[in-house]
């Protein structure tokens, strides 16, 4: 299945946070099934690992047999690795989705899942290594956020101790303000640090950079993207959990009418546990394309803002792309070649045409 975007439906202009979300949702609605097909494989891998992890971690705390305990622990570890592999694969596919979007903007190529995965296959191992480093960077960012939030909470506890001697209402205000401040500081700090590597897969497939060059390039592009990246993430997270609640409520009512306690997970039958575990990945399959589109549009928007990428793409549409000769200047190719290395072509014969090869 393929779909095409009309160039006038995706104007290349700087986008605010609301415009970015609106554009991603409109593209998602127009190409729903193509995008779901694109996002489904990595999400299914992560879902399969998560379902097995959920089942066997519950059995760890209920089995009396030592041999079974060891088996359940090993299966839980393996399923956890499979889940992380699915998340890594999602980052890899994001790079291919961005390349498909840019290829459409440049050459009006159709947006298809096949084009995305064909681009991913050309640099799969490099993308996998880069995605692992990105995931490691995100874990480090979470650690920094935890430390910063802990310090804010310590300050809040000290203020609570001091205000408790004055008035109870003042203590309540300090607690509320402290929790909000810790959440705000943690959120801003996380996206400020993690956002530095938001464009690594995109840079590798669109610009043809190596792994470490892609990290450097992503750092330079990610200036001032905290607010828009935060807005896109919060919107996608809220939409995903909203879809999850829509799916969970009927399951919960059916389980309650069948005599199952939805709160006590240790007494759930196997079918209810599997159904409960499947609903989360299902909502992710439905909403992950919005996240992928948002990051793709955000990458293009950063280049429009910082480098006049809109002018470069429009020039490439009208005049053809510059030769892909590994130029590292702002006048390099709008979309790097993903074909495998070939022998250099023989020198062209002399002609009386112009340097643009127009006779």
pLDDT surpassing 60 at residue 327: no
CA 101 – CA 147 distance, rounded (Å)? 38
Report which of residues 66 and 41 the model is more confident about: 41
Least confident of 10-14, 94-98, 355-359: 355-359
Distance CA 334, CA 269 (A): 55
Residue 204: predicted pLDDT? 87
Say how far apart CA 264 and CA 271 lie, in whole Å.
15
Q: What is the pLDDT of residues 95-119, one digit of tens each?
A: 888 888 777 766 677 888 888 898 8
Is the pLDDT assigned to residue 341 strictly greater than 60?
no
Task: Compute the average pLDDT of residues 123-145.
Answer: 89
In the prediction, which pLDDT does 251 show?
A: 84
Q: Determine whether 134 is exposed, middle or buried from the number of CB atoms within 10 Å of its CB (0-12, 13-18, 19+).
A: buried
Query: In this predicted structure, what is the pLDDT of residue 258?
Result: 80
**Average of pLDDT values for 25-45?**
84
Contact (Cβ atoms closer than 8 angstroms) between residue 230 and residue 187: yes
**What is the distance, to the nearest Å, from the Cα of residue 37 to the centroid of all Cα atoms in its chain?**
16
Predicted model pTM: 0.71
Q: Which of 32-46, 132-146, 271-285 has the lowest mean pLDDT?
A: 271-285
* 15 within 8 A of 25, measured Cβ to Cβ: no
**In the predicted structure, residue 160 carries a pLDDT above the cut 50:** yes
Residues in the chain: 359
Band of pLDDT at residue 14, cut at 50, 70 and 90 = low
> What local confidence, expressed as pLDDT, does residue 137 receive?
92
The answer on pLDDT for 351 being more than 70 is: no
Q: How far apart are CA 18 and CA 340, in angstroms?
A: 39
- Residue 67 CA, distance from chain mean position: 39
* Residue 246 half-sphere exposure toward CB, CA atoms < 13 A: 10
Weakest mean pLDDT among 38-47, 62-71, 265-274, 329-338: 329-338
d(CA 116, CA 31): 14
- Is residue 295 pLDDT above 80, yes or no? yes
- Contact present, 94 and 202 (Cβ < 8 Å): yes
Q: Are 60 and 73 in contact (CB under 8 A)?
A: yes
What DSSP string describes 258-314? TT--SS-GGG--HHHHHHHHHHHHHHHHHHHHHHHHHHHHHHHHHHHHHH-HHHHHH
Query: What does the pLDDT read at residue 201?
Result: 86
Residue 175 burial class via C-beta count within 10 angstroms: exposed 0-12, middle 13-18, buried 19 and up: middle
Q: In the chain, where does DSSP find H-type helix? A: 17-30, 32-60, 66-107, 113-122, 124-163, 168-194, 200-206, 211-221, 226-257, 270-307, 309-319
pLDDT reading at 358 higher than 60: no
User: Is the predicted pLDDT of residue 328 greater than 80, yes or no?
Assistant: no
CA 98 to the chain's CA centroid: 11
Rounded CA separation 218/16 (Å):
19
- Whether 276 shows a pLDDT value over 50: the answer reads yes
Distance CA 102, CA 205 (A): 10
Mean pLDDT, residues 167-185 taken together: 79
What pLDDT, on the 0 to 100 scale, is given for residue 317?
61
Of 35-39, 66-70, 343-347, minimum mean pLDDT range: 343-347
Which phi and psi (to 5°) does residue 347 adopt? -60, 140
Q: How far apart are CA 310 and CA 333, in angstroms?
A: 13
Selected residue with higher pLDDT from 8 and 173 = 173
pLDDT in tens, 178-225: 788 888 888 888 999 888 988 888 888 888 888 888 898 888 888 878
């Amino acid at each position: 299945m393929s779909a095409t975007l009309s160039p006038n439906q995706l104007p290349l202009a700087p986008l605010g946070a609301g415009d970015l979300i609106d554009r991603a949702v409109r593209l998602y609605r127009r190409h729903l099934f193509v995008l779901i097909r694109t996002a489904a494989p990595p999400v299914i891998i992560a879902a399969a690992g998560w379902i097995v992890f959920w089942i066997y971690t519950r059995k760890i705390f209920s089995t009396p047999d030592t041999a079974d305990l060891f088996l359940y622990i090993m299966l839980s570890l393996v399923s956890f690795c499979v889940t992380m592999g699915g998340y890594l694969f999602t980052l890899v596919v994001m790079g291919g989705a961005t390349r498909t979007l840019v290829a459409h903007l440049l050459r009006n190529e159709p947006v298809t899942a096949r084009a995305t995965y064909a681009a991913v296959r050309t640099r799969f191992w490099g993308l996998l290594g880069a995605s692992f480093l990105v995931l490691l960077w995100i874990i480090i960012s979470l650690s920094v956020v935890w430390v910063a939030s802990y310090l804010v909470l310590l300050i809040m506890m000290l203020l609570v101790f001091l205000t408790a001697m004055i008035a109870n209402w003042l203590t309540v205000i300090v607690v509320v303000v402290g929790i909000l401040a810790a959440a705000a500081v943690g959120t801003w700090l996380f996206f400020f640090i993690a956002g530095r590597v938001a464009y690594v897969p995109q840079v590798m497939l669109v610009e043809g950079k190596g792994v470490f060059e892609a990290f450097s390039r992503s750092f330079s592009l990610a200036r001032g993207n905290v607010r828009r990246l935060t807005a896109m993430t919060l919107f996608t997270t809220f939409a995903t959990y909203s879809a999850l609640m829509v799916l969970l409520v009927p399951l919960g009512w059916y389980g309650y009418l069948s005599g199952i306690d939805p709160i006590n997970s240790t007494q759930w039958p196997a079918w209810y546990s599997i159904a409960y575990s499947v609903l989360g990945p299902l909502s992710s399959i439905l909403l992950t394309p919005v996240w992928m589109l948002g990051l793709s549009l955000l990458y293009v928007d950063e280049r429009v803002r910082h480098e006049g990428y809109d002018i470069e793409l429009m020039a490439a549409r009208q005049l053809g792309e510059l030769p892909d000769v590994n130029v590292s200047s702002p006048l390099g190719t709008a979309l790097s070649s993903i074909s495998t290395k070939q022998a250099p072509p023989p020198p062209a014969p002399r002609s009386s045409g112009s340097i643009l090869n127009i006779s």
